[in-house]
Structures are given as structure tokens and as C-alpha cells.
Structure 1
Amino acid sequence: MEDLSKEWHHEVRDCVTQYSDKRTKLWSFEAKLLINRSNMRECFSQAVSNSSWANFGYLVAAEIGSTDSLKELRTLFAAHGIGFIKLDVVDNPADSQVLIAARERPEIDWDMVNRLATENRDFLEYVKLLKQFYQTGEARPADWDVPDLDN
């Protein structure tokens, strides 16, 4: 036997222990203001790299350069399962469009989660919130920006 988690941050290790019931799907979003021919591959590479840990990974942009750019994105995204969302930041972000649906990955890449958690304090805080949800079953609106539907 090899303990794959022996080098993991203790918060990640605790989160994985709680995650075993698989009550959730985890999403990752790489947000950009503009995607065009000149920055497309860099943005795409960042989305692949930064969302490889999640069940669903998306590149999100407020503006896309041209229809040729969207066609190129479809080709790139099909190979890696990354989705694309056109963000409507001006009028109503909730009306944003999924132009390319992400392909679901059945398992979380916990090694990548650990790497990101040890390199990025914000991501570590995300892991802590996730662990708290797994332990309590409660998604506190203040932590997750969950809309209060009771009002």
C-alpha cells in the first residue's frame, strides 16, 4: 500500500475523507474580460491547467473577438472537455450563456487540489469551506453566495 495523501495539506486530507459520500459536483471557472485570436491559446491553457481538478471546468469571458475565435475554442475545448460561458456582465450575469458545455470528469483530482491549496491561500479557504459543507451538510449563504430564497 502507498499512502497517496501523506504529503497533502491536512485540510485537503480531511476534505477528501469527508468527500467520500460524493454529495457534490465541483466546478472551476477561469474568468477573462476578452478572448480573441491573440490571447486565446493562453486563456485556454490557463483554463485547462486551473480547472483540471474539478468535475466541470469552464472558461468564462465577457467578450469574444469573433466567430472564428469561437470556432477555434470549440475545437480546443472538445479535446479537453473544458466549457465556455459568455458572461453578460453589463445587464444581468444570471443571463449568461453556456456556449460550449463542459464534459464531466467523474473524479476529483485531489493531487491537483493539494497543489493548488498549498500554493494559493484563497483556494485553501475554498477547500476549508468545502470540508465544512461535507461535515455539516450546510451551505451557509455568507460563505457560498447562495441566494436567500426565503425572502
Structure 2
Amino acid sequence: MKKTKESNVSKTAKLKGSISTCCNISKYADELEQLITAGTSTSTVVVQQKTEAFKERSLHRLLSNYLLGKNILSKTIFHESSTRVDQAQKWVYPDMVGVEFNEFQEFATRSLLKAAETKEYVALYSYELKRIIENDHQLKEYFFQALSNSSWANYGYLVAFDINEDIMEEMERLNRSFGIGIIKLSPYSDNTLELFPARKNELGYYTIDKLCRINNDFKNFITKSTKVLNAQAEVLEDVKSGLQKFCDRGFSSQEEILEYCNENHIPC
């Protein structure tokens, strides 16, 4: 028994160390300690059986399709392509990133906004995707992973294909406390639900710089988004088209969505 307690303390210390590399852990240290000492619920086995038919990354295109309808361009960040991959970097990379530009019809208005209030012209998003959130233990683990991975962004989201309604109250509490939004993803954009909105934060430039140095997918996304910000009127559409081609694709029809879901064993 004593050995188990020491093991839990060790796990907590390691987890705190991994997250503290990218954001301040002090304000939610107690939450994390409860998460580790609580252990894994027996329903995890059921969760694995329920979701093993499709891969988590196959959800990325569904999310991208939904975000395109909200004028947000998104891009998968491939963790395996990073230049530095170790345990300390575990909760740093988001699964997907997104960018939204305020669209005014007149270029003169956009230029004024960029010159006066650049932060009001562009918003950067971070998304952590999961197949299912079944219980309180999973919720806390995934939520704090999303919180850690989005410390650089204006808005951070935890996205899941299936969410147990019994944990909705705890989900709302965490959302109010830490500002991470929660999306219940569906193959069809009209059925995708933003259960809780994300709270806006200032960009974390030191973390953005760190991620650019570590991961080329992230660096290229930031570079191409910045080119759109700096583009002159005569080349703006071409530059934006380059960003769109770099980002993840959506779908052109309901039939294409259905075919994609069937190929990837995603329930729809």
C-alpha cells in the first residue's frame, strides 16, 4: 500500500513537471493530484472496445470541415515530425491549430484594423481531439491536456466524438474555471455542438516561438498565416489561397462525408 502511494506521488510530480514547461500549473495542481490518485476507471475497457473501430486522427478532417463553415482554417500538427520528442514535451503540441481572420469588404478597413489593432484582426485556435470522454477521470486528463496544449492560443478547445452526458456538470465547472471550450463533434457540421465556448486569451509568444522551433508543421502554419496578415491588396487572395491549400481539407458534399466515414469506420 505504501509503495502504491509513493508511486502515485511520483506520477503526480512527473505530470506536474511535464505541464509546467508550457503553462503555470499552480492554479490547478490540486485538480491534477486528484486525477492521478483517483486511478483509471474500469469503464476504460468499455471505452476502448467502443471506439477501437476508428482512429482518433480520422476525426481531424471532420473537425476541419466544421471549422471551414465558421471561416476558420485549420491544420493537423503531426507530433511525430517534431525535431525534439521526449516525455517532457508530451503536453505541448495541440492536435490541430486554426486561424480566423476578420473579413471586412474594404481593404482600407482591413488595413486600418491591422495597423491599429492586429490582435482584433486575427484569432488563433488550438484543438485537442478525442474519440470519447466517458468518465470523470478521462475528462480531467483530457481537459488539462487541452489546457496545457493551448496555452499559446487565443482560444483552446477539447473536441470529442462521443461524450457521456453524466459528466456534463463537471465539464461546465472546468470550463468556467479554466476557459477551455468543449465541442461534441459529428460527421455533419449541422449536428456538431459547441457545448461550452472558449474564453479568449492573449497570445503566448514565447510558447509560439518554442513550438515553431520544435515542429515544422506549426512553424509553417504561423508563417503562412502571418503572410496573409502582411499581404498587399493585389496579392491577398493568392496568399490566402496558399494558406488554404496548406490547411486540412473539408468535404464538398454529404455523400463525400458518408463515404469518408464508411472508409474510416466512423459511426454516422
TM-score range for the pair, normalised by the shorter chain length: 0.7 to 0.9
Aligned residue pair count? 126
Matched, 1:143 2:240: no
Measured in 1, the distance between the counterparts of 2:249 and 2:240 equals 8
In terms of fraction of residues, the more helix-rich structure is 2
Which residue number in structure 1 is paired with residue 129 of structure 2?
A: 31
**CA distances 1:15-70 after superposition (whole Å, capped 9, x unpaired):** xxx99723211111111111122321111111001111111111110011x22222
Measured in 2, the distance between the counterparts of 1:102 and 1:127 equals 21
Over 3 Å counting, the alpha-carbon distance change for 1:112 and 1:72 in structure 2 is same
TM-score by length of 2: 0.43
In structure 1, give the amino acid aligned to 2:124: L
Q: How big is the shift at 1:121? A: 2.2
Measured in 2, the distance between the counterparts of 1:27 and 1:94 equals 21
1:2-151 equivalences in 2 (<5 Å): 21-22=118-119, 23-37=121-135, 38-64=137-163, 66-89=164-187, 92-93=188-189, 95-105=191-201, 107-136=202-231, 137=236, 138-140=239-241, 141-144=244-247
**CA distances 1:70-97 after superposition (whole Å, capped 9, x unpaired):** 22111112111110000003xx145311
- Higher RCO (CA-CA < 8 Å; seq separation 6+): 1
Q: How big is the shift at 1:146? A: 8.0
- Give aligned-pair identity as a percent: 33
**CA distances 1:116-151 after superposition (whole Å, capped 9, x unpaired):** 22222221121111222122144223134588xxxx
SS in 1 for 2:118: coil
SS in 2 for 1:131: helix
**Structure 1 residues not aligned, in runs of 5+:** 1-17
**CA distances 1:98-122 after superposition (whole Å, capped 9, x unpaired):** 00011111x2111111122222222
How well do the aligned residues superpose, as a CA RMSD in angstroms?
A: 2.3
